[in-house]
Chains A and B, each alone.
Chain A
Amino acid sequence: MKSIWLLIKKNLRLLVRSKTSALVIFFAPLLIMLLLGLSYDTSSSYGLNIGVYAPAFSEDVESLITSLQEQEFKIVKYETTVDDCVEDIKAGYIHTCLSVPESLQVEDNQQKEVTFYVDPSKINLVWMIQENLGNKFNLKSQEISRGLTSGILTSVADATTQLTEKNTELNGVKEKSSAASASALSVSQQLGALDLNLPASTYDPQALTTIKSSLSLEVENSLGEVDDAREAVEAANITNDAQILSSLNDIETKLKKVDALLSGAAVSTANSTNTGSNSTASESLSSILTLLEQDLTATQNKLTAASQAVTSSSSSLSSASQAMQESVGALDNVQQGLGQIKTTLESQKVTDANVISSPLITRIEPVAPESTYLNYLFPALLVLVVMFSSLLLGTTLVMMEKNSPAFFRNYFLPLRKGTFVISTFFTTLLITLVQVVIILGVSMVFLQESIFYMLPVAGVLLLSSSVFSFIGMGIGYAFKSEETGTLASISTGSLLLFVSGVVLPIESISPLVRKITALNPFVISESVIREVFLFHAGISSVWTEVASLVGYALALFAVILIVEYLVHKHFISGFMKSRHLKHRQQEKRDKNNV
């Protein structure tokens, strides 16, 4: 146990005394934690650039955009065509594209569709977009749904109110109708009760003929006498009133006779024995007249009753008519009200339950052809392999050279300082090229991609490899031992990977760090390869990224040359100084021992 403890103490002592090792071992994890902590110490802000395409930016589309901007999403508007928006996703300028309709107001039974165009190769980003924008759209959908439901409920409430009013009116109509009905019934009963049958008397037709003949005779006679009277009047110069009076008396007599004839019943009863035919006629007429009188009385009574009934009925019917007219008016009102209700209800064009509950539907549309996850992850995997491979190769080759026994001799070779750097770089590049050829060759079989698209991918990978090789070489020059150099390379690679968006979405890190990580060569390389591999982008689409990588490579090359120059300049000085110090110390120790 003691020996283990002693060995542990020795190990720790050696580690601490090797400054770079201590730095890497103790501070590298802390540094990584610090950087990651700073990077992801955020919860509210998202660095998503969202493209919004709409045929027209109506008020509610603008409202949606404003609500997205409130969440710190950066909005880019596209007004001409959604294809521009999609192309910008491919180019990596924006993370998602929303194709929204002109208006989000649902006016018929058609759900409004919002299409999310996403890059499926950024799986974690797709998830994040779905998570955040989906929520946003759900809220919007709920808001619209609430509006629709509210409109429907308002209509229903209005209809209810109107129906209540109309119900009251209908009750009035009902009462009036009932009253009219009662009146009608009463009239009906009254009319039903009317006896309009003729009295069942029998009249002798011959007697009536005789009476007729007698009366006709008498009338003729009277007429004759009247004619006589007229002639007499005409003949006599009407100077004598007595004559006229006589004539008129005569007429009066004759008319009295007619009158007597007509009042023959009484006369016949009294004078039935005086004249035979007249008395018979008189009797007949009398009886007839009696019967007629009776019938007329009866009829009169009936008609009086009928008149009364008619009067009553007329009154009833009049009131019933009035009631009916009022009812018609009320019913008109009700009809009008129902018409309004109908209009109100018909104004609710959204009647589909699905549309009301989900007025907005979202659809995810991948901008790349549907493929396997391997395809989507392929660009990141390629860059990952190339990054670690190049970093470690760069570091290892420099370390191998630095720690090689032949290192010292190199200083005496008639070569420029940059020659060694370039040779190390090209060695790394050559090995990476072999790796890339193998990886892409195998990938072509699995992914069934054309070599036409693989060649630019290989080119970009080599460019990325150049950048990472130089970083690895820089690490190699900066560190003393191969172990610490390798550890530093792995740490650097891990850091670049962590802030690349492959493990965690880069868009979810804090804005400041996000801006910095946008310069991450891993991010740039991955972006270019994704565009080239997944979207088959041409050089014109990725030239800025490619130029960035070239710039990185050149800058790093220059830095390494400077570092190498400084290392060269101070190598011997440092070497000699340490050597002398060591010797002097040894000398002192020897003296002390003596």
Chain B
Amino acid sequence: MIYKDYANLPALVPHITFIYYLTIISLEKVNDLKLIELKEVSKSFGKNSILGDVNLIIEEGDILGIIGRSGSGKTTLLNLVAGFLEPSEGEVLHHFKAAHGPESLHQNLHKIKDLIGYAPQHNSFYPKLTVLENLLHFGQLYKLPKETILNNIKGLLEATDLLSHQNKLAEHLSGGMQKRLDIACSLVHKPKILVLDEPTADLDPMLQKEIMNFLIQVNKQGVTLVIASHHLALLERACNKIAIVHIGRVHSHGHIDEIRKSYSKDNFTLSLSPGDNKERLISILKTLPIDRIIDKDHLLVVHPKNITKTVTGLLTAIQEENLYLHDLDIRHPSLDEIFEIITSREK
């Protein structure tokens, strides 16, 4: 793979982004076991149309990221996926019970509640109960054998690193721990699918990362995740599938690499600092297979004929001549960029 060739680049180009390193892992987990399917789904509240013509498939093992601006309809979509809302039009089907075939999720929600976990945006547990009490409370309400619940709780406490805090009141936990407890409460009955609404909202970057790592671990244990968030970078890192919601429409959805490919750029950019030898870099580039170079003062946009050869040649020359380059951006477009593109189109 092309990106693996740049494994030693950080030393030379400190700001090169390696987003794909992680996303590649989840790209491997593709299967076709449908769990939830949205067909021509529309949702409106009164006269306000919130979502329209949504077609979406969530498969087992997916980490589906739903991204969109505030008020775009992503929470509505999430609630439709969770069966919490009934679509105004179309249908949301679940495939949890293969023997029965697809069934309306909302209408049969009572039968499959134990297969779905939901973590709303704001923590949803009892602050005046301890960590253990909260987990026991929600676990026992799923009517599982006590031994199973205790095993689940033990595993969750270890996974969430809350074992040593199990007797603390939930309100006394830190923000990150509270969020982990909230997710643990959603997982205590071992659901097949976990729906999370803005799991990283109001958390600092470290905690956001921590939560995402935890979710990835959860997914590895076989839990399908549907995550709505506007922290695109985090989703990009964790999800294998993305649905981009904007003004009540799902504009793109599917495997993240496919989406990225469809929005991939045919150029790379060189960011230059005042001390960089701009002229020398341009002359080196001109020796390489390129179509054109656009000089934007501190930014050179290079349209190569063969991006691999051009970048390899450029980096080799830089190394040989011991030149300094502030930044080399050779990525596919990030989710952020794709999102920008989509939202700017709609404008």
Query: In residues 399-443 of chain A, which contact B (Cβ within 8 Å)?
Result: 404-409, 411-415
Q: Mark A474-493, 1 if CB is under 8 A from B, else 0.
A: 00000000000000000000
Are the CB atoms of A413 and B142 closer together than 8 Å? yes
Supposing A572-B79, A580-B45, A580-B48 touch, asked if A408 and B120 sit within 8 A by C-beta, the answer is yes
Whether B85 contacts A414 by the Cβ 8 Å rule is no
Q: How far, in angstroms, from A176 to B69 measured CA to CA in the complex?
A: 140
Taking A576-B45, A579-B75 as contacts, is the C-beta distance between A414 and B123 under 8 angstroms?
no
Q: Is the CB of B118 within 8 A of A412?
A: yes
B214 contacts chain A at the CB level, 8 A cutoff:
no
CB of A277 to closest CB in B, whole Å: 179
Q: Which residues of B contact A573 (CB under 8 A)?
A: 45, 85
Is the Cβ of A587 less than 8 Å from the Cβ of B50? no
B42 to chain A, nearest CB (A): 14
Size class of the B contact interface (CB-based, 8 Å): 35 or more
Within 8 A of B (CB), among A546-580: 572-573, 576-577, 579-580
Residues of chain A within 8 A (CB-CB) of B141 are 413-415
Chain B, 34-58, CB within 8 A of any chain A CB = 45-46, 48, 50
Given contacts A576-B75, A587-B71, contact A414 B124 (CB under 8 A): no
B202 to chain A minimum Cβ distance, whole angstroms, is 13
The reply on B263 being an interface residue by CB < 8 A is no
Complex alpha-carbon distance, A404 and B126, angstroms: 7
Q: Are A576's CB and B71's CB within 8 A?
A: no
From 199 to 254 in chain A, residues with beta carbon under 8 angstroms from any chain B beta carbon are none
Note all chain B residues with C-beta closer than 8 A to A408: 118, 120, 122, 124
Task: Check B142–A414 contact: CB distance below 8 A.
Answer: yes
Docked-complex contact A582 and B71, CB < 8 angstroms: yes
**Taking the complex as formed, is B127 at the interface, i.e. its CB lies under 8 A from any CB of chain A?**
yes
Complex CA gap A577/B185 in Å reads 27
B114 at the interface (CB under 8 A from A): yes
Mark interface residues in B106-136 (1 if CB within 8 Å of A CB, else 0): 0000100110111010111111000000100
Q: Are B185 and A409 in contact (CB under 8 A)?
A: yes
- Indicate whether A409 sits within 8 Å of B71 (C-beta atoms), given known contacts A572-B79, A576-B76: no
Asked if residues A405 and B45 are in contact (CB atoms below 8 Å), the reply is no
Are the CB atoms of B71 and A586 closer together than 8 Å? Answer: yes
Q: Could you tell me the distance between the alpha carbons of A573 and B87 in the complex, rounded to whole angstroms?
A: 11
Q: Which residues of A contact B122 (CB under 8 A)?
A: 405, 408
B11 to chain A, nearest CB (A): 40
**A584 interface residue per 8 A CB criterion:** yes
Q: Contact at B46–A577, with CB atoms within 8 Å?
A: yes
Q: Please indicate the chain B residues that have their CB under 8 angstroms from the CB of A409 in the complex.
A: 118, 120, 124-125, 138, 185-186
Complex Cα distance, B122 from A579, in Å, reads: 13
Known: A412-B116, A584-B71, A586-B70. A576 touches B138 (CB 8 A): no
Which residues of B, 241-265, contact A by the 8 Å Cβ criterion? none
Please pick, from A405, A579, A587, the residue contacting B125 in the complex, using a CB distance under 8 A.
A405
Cβ–Cβ < 8 Å partners of A415 in chain B: 141
Q: Does B84 make an interface contact (CB < 8 A)?
A: yes
Query: A19 near B: Cβ within 8 Å?
Result: no
Q: Is the CB of A405 within 8 A of B71?
A: no
Whether A583 pairs with B71 at a CB distance below 8 angstroms is yes
- Which residues of A have CB within 8 Å of B4? none
* A90-141, CB < 8 A from B: none
Contact B50 A405 (CB under 8 A): no
B143 an interface residue at 8 Å Cβ cutoff? yes
CB of A148, distance to nearest CB on chain B (Å): 79
Whether A414 and B114, one on each chain, are in contact in the complex, defined by CB atoms closer than 8 angstroms, is: yes
**Alpha-carbon distance A579/B72, docked complex (angstroms):** 11
- Say whether, besides A577-B45, A583-B70, A587-B69, A413 and B124 are in contact (CB < 8 Å): no
Q: Mark B59-75, 1 if CB is under 8 A from A, else 0.
A: 00000000001111101
Cβ-defined contact, A580 with B50, below 8 A? yes
Specify the chain A residue showing the minimal Cβ separation from B197: A408
- Name the residue among B45, B122, B185 with the largest chain A CB count within 10 angstroms: B45
Chain B residue contacts of A581, Cβ below 8 A: 48
**Interface residue B232 (Cβ < 8 Å from any Cβ of A):** no
Asked whether B285 is an interface residue with its Cβ less than 8 Å from the other chain, the reply is no
Assembly CA distance A579 to B138 (angstroms): 27
> Please, which residues of chain A bring their CB within 8 A of the CB of B114?
414
A413-B113, A414-B141, A576-B76 are contacts. A405–B48 as well, Cβ < 8 Å?
no
| B contact residues around A572 at 8 Å (CB) | 79, 84-85
Q: Which residue of B lies closest to A569 (CB)?
A: B86
How many Å lie between the Cα of A406 and that of B186 in the bound state? 11
Q: Which of chain A's residues has its CB closest to B134's CB?
A: A406
B153 within 8 A of A: no
- Whether A576 contacts B50 by the Cβ 8 Å rule is yes
Chain A residues with CB under 8 Å of B73's CB are 580
A405 touches B143 (CB 8 A): no
Q: Which residues of B contact A586 (CB under 8 A)?
A: 70-71
Contact B124 A406 (CB under 8 A): yes
- B226 close to A (CB within 8 Å): no
B82 within 8 A of A: yes
How far is A415 from B123 in the complex, measured between Cα atoms in Å? Answer: 20
B82 touches A580 (CB 8 A): no
CB neighbours of A576 from chain B (8 A): 45, 50, 75-76, 79, 85
Contact yes or no, B118 A577, CB < 8 A: no
| A579 surroundings in chain B (CB, below 8 A) | 71, 75
List the A side residues contacting B110 at CB < 8 Å. Answer: 414
In angstroms, how far is the closest chain A Cβ from the Cβ of B48?
6
How distant is the Cα of A411 from the Cα of B120 in the complex, in angstroms?
Answer: 11
CA A140 – CA B142 in complex, angstroms? Answer: 76
Q: How far is the CA of A584 from the CA of B75 in the complex (A)?
A: 14
Given A408-B120, A576-B45, A576-B79: A414 in contact with B84 (beta carbons within 8 A): no
Interface centre among A409, A411, A582 (most CB of B within 10 A): A409
CB-nearest residue of chain B relative to A419?
Answer: B141
Among candidates A411, A577, A580, residue contacting B84 with C-beta atoms closer than 8 Å: A411
Known: A405-B124, A411-B84. A577 touches B48 (CB 8 A): yes
- Contacting pair A406 B125 (CB below 8 A): yes
Query: How would residues 340 to 356 of chain A score, 1 for a CB under 8 Å from any chain B CB and 0 otherwise?
Result: 00000000000000000
Chain B contacts for A404, CB-based, 8 A: 126
A412 to B126, CA, bound (A): 15
The closest CB in chain A to the CB of B124 belongs to A409
In the complex, chain B residues 70-114 whose Cβ is within 8 Å of any chain A Cβ: 70-73, 75-76, 79, 82, 84-85, 110, 113-114
Q: How far is the CB of A569 from chain B (nearest CB, A)?
A: 9
Distance from B179 Cβ to chain A, minimum over Cβ atoms (Å): 12
Query: Does B126 lie within 8 Å of A406, measured CB to CB?
Result: yes
B178 (CB) vs chain A CBs: closest residue: A405
Residue of A nearest to B195 (CB): A412
Contacts of A577 in B (CB 8 A): 45-46, 48
Within 8 A of A (CB), among B177-193: 185-186
**Smallest beta-carbon distance A312→chain B, Å:** 138
CA–CA, A406 to B138, complex, Å? 10
Which residues from A are CB-within-8-Å of B48?
A: 577, 580-581
Q: What residues on B are CB-neighbors of A584 within 8 Å?
A: 71
Measured in the bound complex, the distance between the Cα atoms of B346 and A587 in whole Å is: 15
Nearest B residue to A587 via CB reads B71
Complexed CA–CA distance, A180 and B300 (Å): 174
What separation, in Å, do the CA atoms of A404 and B116 have in the docked complex?
21
Give A581 to B45 CA distance when docked, in angstroms.
11
With a 10 A CB-CB cut-off, give which of B70, B72, B143 has the most chain A CB atoms: B70
- Whether A412 contacts B185 in the complex (CB less than 8 A), given A405-B127, A573-B45, A579-B75, comes out as no
Instruction: Kindly identify, within residues 373 to 417 of chain A, every residue whose CB is under 8 Å from any CB belonging to chain B.
Output: 404-409, 411-415
Listed A/B pairs (25) with beta-carbon separation below 8 Å:
A406-B134, A408-B124, A409-B120, A409-B185, A411-B84, A412-B84, A413-B138, A413-B141, A413-B142, A414-B114, A414-B141, A572-B79, A572-B84, A573-B85, A576-B75, A576-B79, A576-B85, A579-B71, A580-B71, A581-B48, A583-B70, A583-B71, A584-B71, A587-B69, A587-B71
Smallest CB-CB A-B distances: 10 pairs: A583-B71, A409-B124, A577-B45, A414-B113, A583-B70, A412-B118, A408-B120, A413-B141, A408-B124, A406-B126
